[in-house]
């Protein structure tokens, strides 16, 4: 173990230096937040735009390996092998979220992000040379997905260490980069495919991603312990110097500060304690189901739109609007979560997502209704990713946040791999008479319903008081 620690210590350090953070903490915090936003824009935005590739791969591959047009896709009764690419991409994404979460403390946030950028760029660029499904599954599926998961765990958790107040609003801004990315990258991907064909487009995107994400890694840095200690002492001193201060009040404030910094609702200090907590498992069930349903919706919106008679351009626009609506949702809901409580908002948003799947998406047969659903879904479902680290901080505190959020990725490996396949079976096996389209909507609505019930159980487990901020 000592040899491993020494090997990690010799690795190059990438990102903002500790000395700069100590001298210019406010500038360092701004750089971290901006870099995290850009990282979310490029990495998660690319995943959120995968539905455009799904449509193309659906056209490239049929069961016998030949190309298929829209009409044959609608009438086929065979499961397309192209679904394996998206399934591997998501599984790899969440698997490496767990792995990178455990390594962040050893490698450093900057180096972890840089390694992820190389994987994302290489995966997409290599996909430009692939002609078989298994090749694309390894390149754009496994390698690119692994890189995105590695970057996601850093950019989604590191900003909270720099701010103890308004964390929901801050994380909402950072995670809105994912929606902005989907809004920009989905039509950009369609434009590049139309102009340079699929293989040329994916190579260009690979170059953009590796350069942009490598630059993001230079802006990564955890808040030094010296700054945290300084803030603790300043807060305690400001109270202890007041006339009405007592030793008991000073001690209580110190405990509150340390609770914000280190501990959450549950007094656990290690991975074993987190895994033994029932709150973790309620959160885990909710997240792994909601995340799987979220990407099924995003991946299938373009195909679903074509299935009900809309054009591919309209389908791409609907997917882009869903991503765009999540921008507003993540910022607004993050701000409201600061006022009402993270777990409370987690339940409310997913209740409305469930309702929208059953009562908007399922009966949708027109462009207008699909647009209304895309807006509603984006606003409420898009809050999932910022709510996960916020709920983890509420439950278990700031210390070890990357590792705790990474633990949630284990379950998501299974659900995000299986859910697109199950949805594809519904879509293709029942799609001959049009029933497959509605079945996908019901499948996603049912998945969100179970996730919402798990969030409700989490809320009751933490506190049975109705009107309490938590």
Give the dihedral sign, CA 48/109/146/386.
Answer: negative
Give the tens place of pLDDT for each residue, 415-441.
Answer: 877 887 788 777 777 654 445 567 888
Across residues 109-135, what is the average pLDDT? 92
In sequence order, what DSSP letters do the residues of 99-154 get, joined into one string?
HHHHHHHHH-HHHHHHHHHHHHHHHHHHHTT--SHHHHIIIIIIIHHHHHHHHHHH
- 159 secondary structure, DSSP code: G
Q: Give CATH for domain 17-223+269-462.
A: 1.20.1250.20
Q: What angle do CA 148, 421, 66 make, to 5 degrees?
A: 95
Using pLDDT thresholds of 50, 70 and 90, give the confidence band for residue 258. very low
Q: What is the dihedral of CA 118, 124, 129, 134, to 10 degrees?
A: 100
Query: How many CB atoms within 10 Å of residue 404?
Result: 26
Torsion angles phi and psi, residue 413, rounded to 5: -60, -45
Q: How many CA atoms lie within 13 A of 107 on its CB side?
A: 20
Query: How many CB atoms within 10 Å of residue 368?
Result: 9
Give the tens place of pLDDT for each residue, 139-152.
Answer: 999 999 999 999 99
Helix runs in 49-82, H state only: 50-60, 70-75
Q: What's the pLDDT score for residue 146?
A: 94
Q: What's the pLDDT score for residue 432?
A: 46
Query: How many CB atoms within 10 Å of residue 312?
Result: 17
Least confident piece of the model among 3-7, 250-254, 396-400:
250-254
Contact 282, 454 (CB under 8 A): yes
Give the dihedral sign, CA 156/151/106/414.
Answer: positive
Query: How many CB atoms within 10 Å of residue 24?
Result: 13
Give the tens place of pLDDT for each residue, 16-49.
Answer: 777 888 888 888 889 999 999 999 999 988 887 8
CA gap 443, 139 in Å, rounded:
29
Q: What are the residue ranges spanned by the domains of the chain?
A: 17-223+269-462
Q: What is the dihedral of CA 79, 290, 379, 363, to 10 degrees?
A: 50
Across residues 374-379, what is the average pLDDT? 92
């Amino acid at each position: 173990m000592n040899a491993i620690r020494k090997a990690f210590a010799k690795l190059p350090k990438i990102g903002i230096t500790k000395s700069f953070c100590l001298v210019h903490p406010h500038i360092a915090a701004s750089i971290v937040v901006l870099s995290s936003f850009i990282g979310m824009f490029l990495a998660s935005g690319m995943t959120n735009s995968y539905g455009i590739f799904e449509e193309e791969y659906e056209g490239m591959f049929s069961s016998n390996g030949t190309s298929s047009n829209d009409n044959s896709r609608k009438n086929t009764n065979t499961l397309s092998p192209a679904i394996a690419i998206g399934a591997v991409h998501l599984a790899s994404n969440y698997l490496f979220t767990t792995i990178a979460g455990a390594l962040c403390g050893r490698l450093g946030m900057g180096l972890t992000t840089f390694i992820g950028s190389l994987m994302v760029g290489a995966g997409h660029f290599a996909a430009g040379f692939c002609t078989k499904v298994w090749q694309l599954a390894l390149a754009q599926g496994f390698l690119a997905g692994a890189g995105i998961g590695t970057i996601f765990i850093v950019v989604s958790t590191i900003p909270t260490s720099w701010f103890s107040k308004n964390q929901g609003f801050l994380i909402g801004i950072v995670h809105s980069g994912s929606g902005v990315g989907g809004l920009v990258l989905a039509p950009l991907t369609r434009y590049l495919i139309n102009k340079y064909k699929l293989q040329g487009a994916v190579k260009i995107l690979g170059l953009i991603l590796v350069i942009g994400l490598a630059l993001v890694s230079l802006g990564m840095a955890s808040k030094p312990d010296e700054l945290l200690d300084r803030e603790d002492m300043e807060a305690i001193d400001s109270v202890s110097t007041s006339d009405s201060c007592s030793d008991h009040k000073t001690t209580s404030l110190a405990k509150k500060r340390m609770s914000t910094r280190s501990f959450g609702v549950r007094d656990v200090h290690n991975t074993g304690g987190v895994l033994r907590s029932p709150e973790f498992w309620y959160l885990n069930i909710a997240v792994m189901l909601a995340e799987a349903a979220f990407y099924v919706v995003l991946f299938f919106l373009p195909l679903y739109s074509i299935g009900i008679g809309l054009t591919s351009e309209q389908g791409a626009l609907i997917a882009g609007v869903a991503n765009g609506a999540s921008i507003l949702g993540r910022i607004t809901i993050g701000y409201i979560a600061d006022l009402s409580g993270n777990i409370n908002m987690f339940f409310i948003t997913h209740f409305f997502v469930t309702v929208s799947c059953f009562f908007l998406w399922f009966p949708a047969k027109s462009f207008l209704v699909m647009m209304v659903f895309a807006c509603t879904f984006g606003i409420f479902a898009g809050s999932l990713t910022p709510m996960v680290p916020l709920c983890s901080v509420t439950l278990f505190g700031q210390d070890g946040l990357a590792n705790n959020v990474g633990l949630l990725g284990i379950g998501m490996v299974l659900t995000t791999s299986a859910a697109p396949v199950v949805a594809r079976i519904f879509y293709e096996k029942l799609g001959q008479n049009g029933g497959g389209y509605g079945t996908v909507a019901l499948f996603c609505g049912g998945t969100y319903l179970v996730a919402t019930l798990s969030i409700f159980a989490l809320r009751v487990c933490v506190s049975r008081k109705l009107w309490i901020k938590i």
